[in-house]
Copies of this chain bind each other. A is one copy, B any other.
Amino acid sequence: MTTVVDRLAIVGLGLIGSSIARGARTYGLAREIVAIDRDAGVIERVKALGLAEVASSEASAVAGADLVILCVPVGAIGDVAAQIAPHLKPGAVVSDVGSVKAAVVAAVTPHLSEDNPFVPAHPVAGTEYSGPDSGFATLFSNRWCILTPPEGADPAAVERVQGLWQGLGAIVETMTPEHHDLVLAITSHVPHLIAYNIVGTAADLEAVTQSEVIKFSAGGFRDFTRIAASDPTMWRDIFLTNREAVLEMLGRFNEDLSALSRAIRWGDGEALHDLFTRTRAIRRGIVAMGQETAEPDFGRARNAAAPAAKQS
């Protein structure tokens, strides 16, 4: 790998920010990596883990940086952009990792001068864990990273951001912020919403105890709890800032669910069987494209212990 930037500043060292720091160091993508976070506890962990040089302020973190990546919840990003903007050197490129793009562009762009191009990015990768301890260098390996540069963006600025993500192992694709928000609404935001929702529904039942929900979760429910364990602040901000696309996709989901519910009520086995057959093909496509393991049960089954007779 060749160095992509001289001085890389990472603002926010959660799962994504800390994974960028680890990856940039592991793959030699930056000569210097500087980190800043508003949470003193996070800063302590960054120091203890030795993830990056820790700056004393947002201003000093971004001073002299060639590339500044904002890795904060999208609800906080406008404020952070306003704080750092006066301290950017001319030509410094600003990017982010937000899961929503149109709202981020609207929040960040007004604070930046023409000397500091904003090249928004969204690496479609993550785990259900949060914070600097949970990151790892290979998080972005073979995952897509979507760039949404404005029309007429400086090609060199786009290339700098693209180079970083490719160096981290990601596959880069470019689209408009609006299209990004629609695509992610169905591939990420609505899935999280319905996962959060069913876990909440199960927790609130009276006829079924929480202990029963937990015990018998291997029937399918437990799969949903993984994404319903994602960071609450990050996800609150996503739903508040991608409202229209989420509600539109949720509307489609609801229409289809009503039809499915009707098929169950009227005993239309053929309609059910047809859908259940069709949906298998999509997973095969995801596995074929290297975005999912073909191992049964995500590979969990492979870890099953040898049985020992147990009494309930």
Residues on the B chain within 8 Å of A146, using CB: 216
Contact yes or no, A301 B264, CB < 8 A: no
A189-204 interface code vs B (CB 8 A; 1 in, 0 out): 1111111111111111
Contact yes or no, B187 A216, CB < 8 A: yes
A300 vs B11: C-alpha distance in the bound complex, in angstroms? 28
Contact yes or no, B169 A124, CB < 8 A: no
As for how many copies of this chain the complex holds, the number is 2
A271 vs B236: C-alpha distance in the bound complex, in angstroms? 9
Residues on the B chain within 8 Å of A237, using CB: 269
A65-103 interface code vs B (CB 8 A; 1 in, 0 out): 000000000010000000000000000000000010000
Residues on the B chain within 8 Å of A134, using CB: 296
Residues on the B chain within 8 Å of A127, using CB: 296-297, 301
A292 vs B303: C-alpha distance in the bound complex, in angstroms? 10
Contact yes or no, B301 A136, CB < 8 A: yes
Residues on the B chain within 8 Å of A75, using CB: 269
Contacts of A104-144 to chain B: CB distance below 8 A: 124-129, 134, 136, 138-144
Contacts of A278-310 to chain B: CB distance below 8 A: 278-280, 282-286, 289, 291-293, 296-301, 303-310
Contact yes or no, B202 A186, CB < 8 A: yes
Contact yes or no, A218 B139, CB < 8 A: no
How many of chain A's residues have a CB under 8 angstroms from any CB in B? 130
Contact yes or no, B186 A225, CB < 8 A: no
In the complex, what's the smallest C-beta–C-beta distance from A22 to chain B, in angstroms?
Answer: 12
In the complex, what's the smallest C-beta–C-beta distance from A35 to chain B, in angstroms?
Answer: 21
6 A-B pairs in the complex with CB atoms less than 8 angstroms apart: A173-B215, A184-B219, A187-B213, A197-B257, A200-B278, A201-B256
Please give 8 more A-B residue pairs, beta carbons under 8 A apart, in addition to A172-B312, A191-B220, A201-B253: A124-B216, A142-B304, A173-B312, A188-B216, A199-B283, A201-B252, A215-B289, A220-B227
- List A residues at the B interface (Cβ < 8 Å): 1, 23, 27, 75, 99, 124-129, 134, 136, 138-144, 146, 166-173, 182-184, 186-205, 207-208, 210, 212-230, 232-233, 235-237, 239-240, 243, 246-247, 249-250, 252-254, 256-257, 260-261, 264-265, 267, 269, 272-273, 275-280, 282-286, 289, 291-293, 296-301, 303-312
